[in-house]
Each structure stands twice: as structure tokens, then as C-alpha cells.
Amino acid sequence: MTTLYCTQKLRVEMGLRRVAVDTRSAEAAPLLRWHANLLKILRRKVVLFTNDATLFNFVVTEVSREQIRNLAAVFEDGCRATLTTEGFDPLTIARFIGAQSISYAGTSNRVVLGVMNDLAFHYDVYLRDNGELTPEAVQRAVYDLNRMPMSPLQYGYSIESLRAALQEAPIQTP
């Protein structure tokens, strides 16, 4: 089961007042744990997703409140598109995203939250410099920021961390 750990700002936008933490979410495979945050870039709503284990990240831009309330679909579509762009084969993508259920919880990892704050700054600067949220600019920002050295990864890249994790540990589905 994939767990999305959502910030309070995102939970409010989703219409979730309180999120019951699913006890199984803590037992989930590390690759199936993601943090999500709602940002505003160029006066548009943007959702940032970051994988807890690898710090692999992507953004979904110009999301409406209705889309945010169906965050599972936004996550799956954005993740699938990003992994396809990164050159992962469809079978790996299907195993990684799969038809698994998605649960929600409050944020739980301060390291990931710190990385997300840094990523939010970089996405904001990167996309503001471009001047608009075109799909090409967003795709380029995601590509570049997954190749930015990250101190929690001993200054490795999140894309390399994801590739290694997917090769070493196959996704366990219930």
C-alpha cells in the first residue's frame, strides 16, 4: 500500500480535517512512502511529491481543488509521466505505482520535510526564471532537480538512488 504523508496545508485543501494514521503505513516498503506538499508558484497551485527512501521528486502543476481532492489520481498520473520521461520501462512503472490502494497520513519525516522545503525553493526559482509553467519547463525542472546533489544521500542524486532501489528491492504488493 502506498502512503502519501500530506502537509497540513494540503490536507486542508483536500478537505481532510483529521487524518487517521493507518498502522500499516509504517510497515509499508520504504519505496511506497511519499510526502506531498501544496505550493504556489506563479500564483498557481502546485503539488510537490517526494519519495521518502530515495528523495526522488516531481511536481504536478496547475491543479484545481477538485483534482487535489482526488490526490491519488494526481499522484499516479504525475508519477507515471515522470518515470516514463526518466526512461523506466512500463513493467517497472506498473510495479512501482501499480493498482495499489493509497492511504493518507500526516507528515512524519523531518528529513524529507527539510528536503522538500529546499526543493520548493529550487522549483520556485527555476520556474519563475522561466516565467511560465509550461509542460516543457516543468519537465526540465523535475529532470534537473532529481540530479541535484542531496546531503541525506551523501551528495548523491535522487534519480540514481531510485534506480538502485528499484533494482535491489522489488516492490512487494499485497
Backbone phi, then psi, for 40, in 5-degree steps?
A: -120, 120
Assigned domain for 20 exists: yes
Q: How many CB atoms lie under 10 A from the CB of residue 38?
A: 20
Residue 86's closest CA among 27, 5, 166?
166
Q: For residue 174, what pLDDT is reported?
A: 42
Assigned domain for 174 exists: no
Q: For residue 33, what pLDDT is reported?
A: 93
Q: Tell me if 157 sits within 8 A of 147, measured CB to CB.
A: yes
Q: What CA–CA distance (Å, rounded) separates 166 from 157?
A: 14
Assigned domain for 173 exists: no
Assigned domain for 154 exists: yes
- Answer whether residue 171 shows pLDDT above 70: no
CA 26 to chain centre: 18
Assigned domain for 156 exists: yes
Assigned domain for 134 exists: yes
pLDDT band at 26 (very low <50, low <70, confident <90, very high): low
**Burial tier of 70 (Cβ tally within 10 Å: 0-12, 13-18, 19+):** exposed
Segment 113-136 mean pLDDT:
92
Q: For residue 98, what pLDDT is reported?
A: 67
Segment 92-106 mean pLDDT:
82
Report the number of distinct structural domains present in the chain. 1
**Range of 19's domain?**
2-168
- Report the CATH number that the domain containing residue 132 is assigned in CATH: 3.30.420.10
What letters, b where the CB count within 10 A reaches 16 and e where it falls short, cover 81-115? bbbeebebeeeebebbbeebebbbbebeeeebbeb
Assigned domain for 81 exists: yes
Assigned domain for 12 exists: yes
**Burial tier of 147 (Cβ tally within 10 Å: 0-12, 13-18, 19+):** exposed
- Answer whether residue 153 shows pLDDT above 70: yes
Q: For residue 1, what pLDDT is reported?
A: 82
- Answer whether residue 21 shows pLDDT above 60: no
